[in-house]
Each structure stands twice: as structure tokens, then as C-alpha cells.
């Protein structure tokens, strides 16, 4: 898919039913955990110099997007995606080359002195400030393949191992029209602090998350049921997906690429007219 300024949905995940293999893995943290919707579940390797995850899909699929959550790769880490026609994983159909595992956060001239490293990446000491960073790679066009190889390299990683959480390999849904101006981004926090009569504070602290709210002006007839309709029906509020709200704006992309679920399935109005429109879409980050 050619990346433009339209938002992207990654939801029909071919990785989920694939047969996986890993270069190495801790016994309690196998590759299959990357197929689980619990965000804290991760695959963990035993080394960090040269590792891989491989997937034999259940069928040949058109692939144009890959995303990986919960990576622990450093600013020096790299990821490479290859697609193959058979289980030799020769990369004969597609080879991304080595890509930065941590994409840029700041554009040229943005941020103060010392805020970021070269290329706009966050400094190593600041990576903890971006816990929700998701690695994404969009292919120039769809490639038909049944064998996926994701390679990792981060020799100087201080953890001594590499990890990856939920992996998405899919054909992305790219709407014909982009979201309307006025979309909302909220760093939500459900923590509560109660005070006793004596003034003692009792806190119930929840992890912070990001909430997105956005809406499309109209949707084409072909999209209302065949694309959006299928996604909303099959995902509902129970199935995880990734929303990349601004794929062409690297600094904003880092904060608006969210792994989570729909809070509520939106209603389609004006059906069978030229003004098909879904209500506001609320999306909540999974913790």
C-alpha cells in the first residue's frame, strides 16, 4: 500500500493462525505468545545479536502491512521483513532491508537541544517515556505470500535478549476519505484518590492509556458494508487491532498509532444514500 495521509486500520491478522518458529526462545516465553491478545504476553529470545520469528500462514495472503508491539529493541536495533514463496524463507517475494526498530519522534528542527538523537529518534534514556511505541512497516504494494520472516538485530541491547509482543501481518484497510478535522487524542488516566476524614489519601492507581476519537465525513457504498462493515462486525469490542491515525507524519505517528479495541461499534446512518456516515469512532489503547 502506498502510504498517504489517510488513517490505517490493521485488523484481519493472518499471523494469528500461522505456525510459528523462532531462532530461540525462553521456555516460558515462546513465539506463540505473539498471537495472544494480552498485551503483556511477549516472545523472548535468548540472545540479541541475530534473532527471528517465522510464520507459515494457513494460506497465501495479500500482505501490505506489518506491525509489532512491545519490542524492547534499543535505538540501535533494527528489524527486517522478508516474504517468501516457500518455507526456505529466501525472501524471494519481498525484502524490506534493515529498518530502524525505533522510528523518529521529532521532525527536522522540532524539539529542544538534546531532546532527541540523530534522525529524530528519542534518546536511549527517554525510551521509557514512549511505552506504547509500535513498529510499523507498510509495503509499497500488496505481496501475495504464505511465508513471513521477521528478523531482529540489536547486539548492544543491555537486556541481553529481544522481545516482541502482539504481531500483526495483514492487508490494511485504508479509507477512501480521511478522518474529519477535530479528532481527539486523550492521555486517559482512571486512577482515583480518596481522602479519609482525617485527610489521609488513599490511591487506586491504574496504568495510563491513550484514547482516540474520530469520525469520517462519509464512506463510499463499497466501504460501508464490504470493508468498514466487516471490520466493525468481526472486531466488535472484543477483538484487538491497530489504528494508525497519521501514517505519513512520523512525529505524530508515534503518538497516534495505538494498539487496542473499539469502545463501542459506531452506528451507520443515512444507509442507501450517497451520505453513508458512521458515528464517532472511539478507540481505547489496551494495557
Maximal CA-CA distance, the chain: 70
Q: Which fold has domain 184-285?
A: Elongation Factor Tu (Ef-tu); domain 3 (2.40.30)
CATH number of the domain at 13-170, out of 2.60.120.260, 3.40.50.880, 1.10.1740.10, 3.30.1330.10? Answer: 2.60.120.260
- Residue 249 CA, chain-centre distance (Å), reads 15
Q: pLDDT tens per residue, the chain (287 residues)? A: 656 678 999 999 999 999 999 999 999 999 999 999 998 999 999 999 999 999 999 999 999 999 999 999 988 899 999 999 999 999 999 999 999 998 776 655 555 544 455 556 666 655 665 556 799 999 999 999 999 999 999 999 999 999 999 999 999 999 988 999 999 999 888 888 888 777 787 778 777 889 999 998 888 877 888 889 899 999 999 999 999 998 887 778 888 899 999 999 898 887 666 677 888 999 999 98
Q: What is the domain partition of the chain in residue ranges?
A: 13-170, 184-285
- What is the rounded CA–CA span in Å between residue 4 and residue 247? 7
Would you state the pLDDT for residue 273?
A: 67
For 36, the 3-state DSSP assignment is coil
Would you state the pLDDT for residue 249?
A: 79
From residue 148, alpha-carbon distances to 14, 58, 71, 189, 191 in Å are: 10, 12, 18, 37, 41
Burial letters 245-261, b for 16+ CB under 10 A, else e: bbbeeebebbbbbbbbb
Q: What is the pTM of this model?
A: 0.88
Would you state the pLDDT for residue 235?
A: 95
Amino acid at each position: 500500500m502506498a502510504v498517504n495521509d489517510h488513517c490505517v486500520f490493521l485488523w484481519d491478522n493472518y499471523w494469528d493462525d500461522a505456525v510459528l518458529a523462532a531462532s530461540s526462545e525462553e521456555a516460558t516465553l515462546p513465539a506463540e505468545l505473539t498471537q495472544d491478545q494480552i498485551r503483556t504476553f511477549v516472545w523472548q529470545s535468548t540472545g540479541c545479536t541475530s534473532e527471528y520469528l517465522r510464520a507459515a500462514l494457513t494460506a497465501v495472503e495479500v500482505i501490505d502491512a506489518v506491525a509489532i508491539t512491545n519490542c524492547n529493541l534499543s535505538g540501535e536495533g533494527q528489524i527486517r521483513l522478508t516474504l517468501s514463496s516457500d518455507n526456505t524463507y529466501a525472501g524471494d517475494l519481498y525484502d524490506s532491508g534493515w529498518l530502524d526498530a525505533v522510528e523518529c519522534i521529532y521532525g527536522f528542527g522540532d524539539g529542544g537541544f538534546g531532546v532527541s538523537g540523530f534522525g529524530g529518534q528519542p534518546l536511549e534514556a527517554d525510551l521509557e517515556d514512549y511505552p506504547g511505541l509500535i513498529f510499523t512497516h507498510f509495503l509499497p504494494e500488496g505481496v501475495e505470500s504464505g511465508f513471513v520472516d521477521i528478523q531482529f538485530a540489536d547486539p548492544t541491547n543491555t537486556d541481553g535478549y529481544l522481545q516482541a509482543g502482539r504481531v500483526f501481518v495483514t492487508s490494511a484497510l485504508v479509507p477512501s476519505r480521511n478522518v474529519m478535522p477535530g479528532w481527539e487524542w486523550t492521555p486517559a488516566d482512571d486512577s482515583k484518590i480518596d481522602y479519609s476524614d482525617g485527610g489521609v489519601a488513599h490511591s487506586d492507581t491504574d496504568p495510563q492509556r491513550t484514547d482516540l476519537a474520530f469520525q469520517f465525513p462519509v464512506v463510499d457504498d463499497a466501504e460501508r458494508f464490504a470493508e468498514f462493515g466487516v471490520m466493525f462486525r468481526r472486531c466488535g469490542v472484543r477483538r484487538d487491532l491497530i489504528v494508525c491515525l497519521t501514517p505519513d507524519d512520523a512525529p505524530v505517528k508515534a503518538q497516534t498509532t495505538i494498539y487496542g479495541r473499539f469502545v463501542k461499534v459506531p452506528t451507520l446512518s443515512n444507509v442507501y444514500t450517497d451520505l453513508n456516515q458512521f458515528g464517532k469512532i472511539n478507540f481505547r489503547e489496551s494495557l
